Structure 1
């Protein structure tokens, strides 16, 4: 079958020729890969595929392991095989990465966007709850630092706001002196809330004097704005 004008790939039907001893397909225009079934022929002692257009990896085993029984001259696109053939190594082709479709890209971007939004929202809520708890603890500790005294305690301490315990009467309230049950000597300022501006005047004084230190200024122990505290 040599020196003809055969073209194309070798047919798979040749694989049934298990008993063949010699194959000469030289000087044709065969192309494609050299079929591996030649390496399974037990009696094949001579294989001439020279001067064709075969390409790719040369099989190994049986006739392909005997350099004197194999002729591949004139096939410049072959590679691999046994070292004695002195063919270039075959380059491993990296599988091409499939480009993601636009809908898939949009879906992935949307998922990451939603997850990122939830993470930001979680961080904001976590920070808010943390600050609320800190503020609550601060208020609680601040309240605990002041003496808790009820209206009844003040009423009892001043003998029902008796005039004998009265020190002076001001524009917005009266000041009494008395000793509490724990022997604490105190002054009790009673605001006259019927006078307009009494509360505002008191808070303004407290704000103005909160950073002032003087021996004639007494310390504010607590405040009572209801029956209980």
Structure 2
């Protein structure tokens, strides 16, 4: 390795080369001290470190006692070693060369004592201030909790009125409310979805809220766009997250619609991370005991204790897709004695496609056909 323009120190990793017999690093730009680990290389027979920029003391063990096998010339800052190397003696500043007078020793002791006292007092002051700040924070936190009391929430939601009910999930109900606060406070804020859930649009008659509302209906294009929105959300969760996520409870009530009727997948209370070592399945000991998901939307294998997987979300998406265009829930009373939504649509595809569609879509069919005929006639004339 001589004449290679190497720079820096000899790497510490060389220490593992205990069986090294011949080492030539001459005519490079190596610096630093001669490594101490070279002293324990018992098999070393030839060592050439000449014409570098090594500095400091030269070891005096057997490997550095043989001038016919060890070469150090050209390193002007080396010192010590055996006399045959003709290197200058090393200069040391030994502590015992300092002759401290009694007065100097006394000054050093006094200064050390004063510094120690100051250090202790500083630590006590810091601890005291930290404790007071913590108590103040806890006190302010307690006052904040008092300001957002149950009565305050009751007033903000108009007595938890059904008109302010946003949705009901497996972990509780969500209400919209306005807090009359005179100061800033920290809160977890979600984007408000003004058009509610997809379930409210597909099945308005099944809502438990008795407040009169404007009739809701989704046309064919809106349903298609929402289906694409949900598909994009699942694609993101599965393929574009740093760690893939399984939603585990995809259904219309967990798809929220914003002002522009864009679908957003929500309610990740049952979601699970899909780590690399689990491949296409999520390993969970409780999955064989507790059913996860919603009946009708969860794949049948979940009911048999199988592990959750991406394919389970795909199955739920398929059921949601069929429900959107048939207007039928997978738990409708008509699905019994082995018949389910999937089989219903599969049979209808043979000769009863129109009968399987959502009646709300059929009501718009005449207008849509007229519109399409107009488009066709216009394009033909052009």
* Fold match (TM-score > 0.5): no
- TM-score, normalization: structure 1? 0.42
Higher share in strand: 1
Higher relative contact order, chain-length normalized (CA < 8 Å, sep 6+)? 1
